[in-house]
Chain A
Amino acid sequence: KQEVTQIPAALSVPEGENLVLNCSFTDSAIYNLQWFRQDPGKGLTSLLLIQSSQREQTSGRLNASLDKSSGRSTLYIAASQPGDSATYLCAVFSGSARQLTFGSGTQLTVLP
């Protein structure tokens, strides 16, 4: 059974810092990995999708990497802003049941 872990659970940084969020998964037989952002009381916003054959994806100030063999992904946020404050969820799509398994998220606070 796929398990996804995110470290740290919470992170507080001053505005302008670069930061890295970590995600690990137990079963490397994945279709893809997706990073989401969730604001309080809202739905999930898809940030980046990395296919199993890819090593990284970039969108603006965000860069996500994937090391499938070691079961790890990182989300790099450059020049953080207070508007980046949210919970970031890593999710892995895998298995014969074709199911998205979520980590428990990293709650990010960017201080002005």
Chain B
Amino acid sequence: DAMVIQNPRYQVTQFGKPVTLSCSQTLNHNVMYWYQQKSSQAPKLLFHYYDKDFNNEADTPDNFQSRRPNTSFCFLDIRSPGLGDAAMYLCATSRDVQAQFFGPGTRLTVL
């Protein structure tokens, strides 16, 4: 089945230790998104790639970066995680402005 895959599902890191989350998709969608979702809150868009074009949200901290080496893969890099970065990170994909499909998420814990 076509799907959005996120690895790892659970990530524990130490305060200030860089971490990379990965997302892959078999849907051949041209748009990939990264969201941050904290407990009992709606997902918050961090950035997205429209084809190869990177679009950063104005309020996304500089601590967060992303890479999309090819159509299928996208990475979220957190350079120096703080306690406030503990959250669920969701990857989503879409074909242009059509429906977005989400992966299962990565739960990040910062010690």
* Residues on A facing B (Cβ under 8 Å): 31-32, 34, 36, 41-46, 49, 89, 91, 93, 97-100, 102-105
Does B45 lie within 8 Å of A32, measured CB to CB? no
A43 near B103: Cβ-Cβ < 8 Å: yes
The list of the 4 closest CB pairs from A to B, nearest first, reads A102-B42, A44-B102, A49-B99, A43-B104
A91–B88 CA distance with the chains assembled, in angstroms:
18
12 contacts between A and B (CB under 8 A): A32-B97, A36-B102, A41-B88, A43-B104, A44-B92, A45-B102, A46-B99, A46-B101, A89-B43, A93-B97, A100-B100, A105-B42
State in angstroms the CA–CA spacing of A100 and B15 once bound together. 31
A34 and B100: CB pair below 8 A? Answer: yes
The answer, among A31, A104, A105, for a CB contact under 8 Å with B97, is A31
How many B residues face the partner with a CB closer than 8 A? Answer: 21
Which B residues are within 8 Å of any A CB, using their own CB? Answer: 6, 33, 41-43, 45, 50, 55, 88, 90, 92, 97-105, 107
Minimum Cβ distance to chain B for residue A86 (Å): 14
Residues of A within 8 A of B45 (CB): 99-100
Whether B90 contacts A32 by the Cβ 8 Å rule is no
